[in-house]
Structure 1
């Protein structure tokens, strides 16, 4: 019996009990997640190397979330496109979603390049090439043409089991388009649409139960991360500045750039958006997985921010594999700047421009799972002709950096979805401006649901049909 591991697990269980008591007393779900995040820090510090029995709890939660991703994306996209009833709307939403996601990453690349060069990160380190083992990193290099080929499914079952988002999206879109094309000629396919709607209700309800476990999982995840990072200050002093710069750049993009985008292009209050979107940011911060956070992201977009489900369930999943400014833009560029300065390499203006362009292109097909930033960085640096040793040296701080990177990724996807919803007329201002949004719309007379179809005519009122906006979360879970 390892008594130290048992003691750490016991401390985590005590926090679980405290969270459960607070939850029964009606404490706000966002407050619970923040309490869980803070509580995990001292447990991780004291537990140090004795978290072997705690670490599986966090992994189980992430695995369960990941297991829900493929069916969630498939039924949400098929249902959303079917509800559109018009392929022209699909073209409008799809093109706008890709544009804003890529623009978000491009802005992250530019900010990272500017901040990194202005701060002179890496200068004075005087590292020498040839001191790192690179075999594993060399195996992580992705040829861009192969990335494009991998967009198209070869085994639907395999793609679903591996959570390959782009193939899942393509299959779902194809099925939905086929359904719409057949519906007018052959009404016999209508049961397919009804079945998808029923399946969506069941899947979203099941996901809601999983989301209710988020605060408890955050305790375990935070404990594990903190316990594994106690020696960074001694061994990697030269990298602490890079880590701080990464967090700063991600913070600027998450709250600065997105605030401007929300105000200018979506006419939404940034403060209101960030307050309502906080649970998704906290989940992203602790799970370090954009895909794992997706159920929380789409839930908040529809229930709290007023983004129509047609947009939320298309743009947000797309944002887990396109854009990704934290992992595919900010991190590779900052590593490149740090490495070029640390190793004293000559780099001209043209080289920096090529690096920036590569940072944007590589974001297409980047999977929103923990550790993907390393793959993205290796691919960018290899394509730019830079030594992979830059990435190898920075691996020890990557996990801590991933907290901020993932938060930036998820926020960018949420903001992009909000902007797209505004542009196509599918943003409910009543919900967006309501501080109590998220309560079952049936309990609020006169409230139009976030998922209710928006009429083409400005003063027409379409009939309200049953939706899943209020069934995403479990009955006792209020994501606020």
Structure 2
């Protein structure tokens, strides 16, 4: 009974577990004192380095094992660290749906008649174009690194995940059951439902303003409340970053990264190049790149450590509206779509790198036609995987199946094994892509509105 209590309920069977928990509490006390002296962005950057050092320290105490998951006390430590790190992400996810719902309703009911169509078209165009660019960059980098040519073929039990057709996926995004869509975190469906509510309010208030006025006031009041809740949760971020980073490093191990160093380098180099492309788009949209990087760092750091585009959504929206002066309507609409489609990292760079690697490992001939088809498949599938858990793995499944290489999916086993390390950079790029799209779309809408007002 005692052993069961310690090993299965309390999850403390080793002195190392106790020491690492107290060490984390000590780090929290240090962060609490630092928060009084450092600005939030600097505190976030400091926290990520503390988490990195803590993760390496845990590995060092365990003598850098080949398989950290086989060591009981490391599993216990990551579970306790997950209480703080993943618990924070759960709080963020708690406010995602109500924040998106009320923000979109509020925006639509106050939006100009001709802006909604432009906003939708330009947002989707930005996501498709940037995803295609991300795929091209990854293909070039993958060939420069010659991914797969020297990689040992790994037998894996991984199988291609079930693929849903594009028409079925798009239909699945429609809110046939709005409550279920909210429960599943299908933000695209929530956005569609909110748009219909917003449009109904716009139409009805011309004749029935006295009847719907209480609901309008409720929307405005609820928006103020949910924003206040979001700010309260966001203040906890530095305390979550440390255990998120530490548990990722501790659970994956250092040695597991050495066998696929080339792929890791290729992915992060691709991420950096695509990030620079985003910066160019930001500059072309009239915003100072340095100002952008400085003001967006909070969302990027959280995305990097949490590996959740959807969980980062409240912070992304706050950064766009408060720090980057993006219109609330544009920020809400574009980032909500961006958390489910057009992900430059997960649906652009990653499947392109894996496809080239698998093609080299399997001896598939790659010519100009192959690459053009790969870019097209990646761009289209960036919509087809919207709202599906395990987005990156699903993206790979869809793409390699579309390229006729489904039978070679097990060759990606070594890459999937270190997915959390890769997912950090991918998710950060996903969020940055959504913010870039929001800035660019907002600038284009404001520019057009200014031109129209001058003509008038």
Does the pair score TM above 0.5? yes
Match of 2:145 in 1: 119
CA distance in 1, matches of 2:318, 2:120: 20
Q: CA deviation at 1:83?
A: 1.6
Per the alignment, residue 260 of structure 1 pairs with: 280
2:44/2:241 contact within 8 Å kept: yes
Give me the TM-score of the superposition, normalised by structure 1.
0.84
Query: For the structure 1 residues 205 and 98, does the alpha-carbon distance in structure 2 shift closer, same or farther, using more than 3 Å as the test?
Result: same
CA contact (8 A) 1:321 1:365 kept: no
How far residue 232 of structure 1 moved from its aligned partner, in angstroms, is 3.8
Question: Once the 2 structures are TM-superposed, how far is the Cα of residue 369 of structure 1 from its aligned partner?
Answer: 8.5
Q: Which runs of 5+ in 2 are unaligned?
A: 1-11, 60-73
Of residues 272, 277, 282, the one that matches 1:251 is 272
Where does residue 181 of structure 1 map in the other structure? Answer: 203
State the 1:328 CA deviation. 0.2
**2:19 paired residue number:** 7
Where 2:151 maps in the other structure, the secondary structure is coil
Match of 1:437 in 2: none
**Change in 2 beyond 3 A, CA 1:181/1:263:** same
Of the three residues 416, 420, 431, the one matched with 2:441 is: 420
CA RMSD of aligned residues (A): 2.2
How much has 1:454 moved relative to structure 2?
A: 8.6
Q: Distance in 1 between matches of 2:432 and 2:197?
A: 29
1:29 to 2:40 alignment: yes
Per the alignment, residue 263 of structure 2 pairs with 242
Deviation at 1:140, TM superposition (A): 4.1
Secondary structure in 1 matching 2:123? helix
Contact 1:8 1:54 in 2 (8 A): no
Cα deviation 1:274-322 (Å, max 9, x = unaligned): 1110111000000101111111111111111111111111111111112
Q: Does the 8 A contact of 1:290 with 1:368 survive in 2? A: no
Give the SS at the match of 1:53.
Answer: helix
Q: Give the total of aligned pairs.
A: 425
**Offset of 1:77 from its aligned partner?**
0.7
Output aligned runs, 1:159-198, within 5 Å: 159-187=181-209, 188-198=211-221
Q: Residue in 2 aligned with 1:464?
A: none
Q: Structure 1's 9 and 269: CA in aligned 2 closer, same or farther, altered over 3 A?
A: same
Does structure 2 conserve the Cα–Cα contact (< 8 Å) formed by 1:273 and 1:305? yes
CA shift for structure 1 position 366: 3.9
**2:58 equivalent in structure 1:** 47
Query: Is 1:71 paired with 2:95?
Result: no
Q: Does 1:95 align with 2:106?
A: no
Q: Is there any run of 5+ residues in structure 1 with no aligned partner, and where?
A: 428-452, 461-480
Q: Which has the higher helix share?
A: 2
Alpha-carbon separation, structure 1, partners of 2:249 and 2:402: 34
Alignment correspondent of 1:145? 167
Structure 1 residues 318-356: Cα deviation after superposition (integer angstroms, max 9, x where no partner): 111121010001000000111111232223322221111
Q: Which residue of 1 aligns with 2:310?
A: 291
Note if contact 1:166-1:365 (Cα within 8 Å) is conserved in structure 2.
no
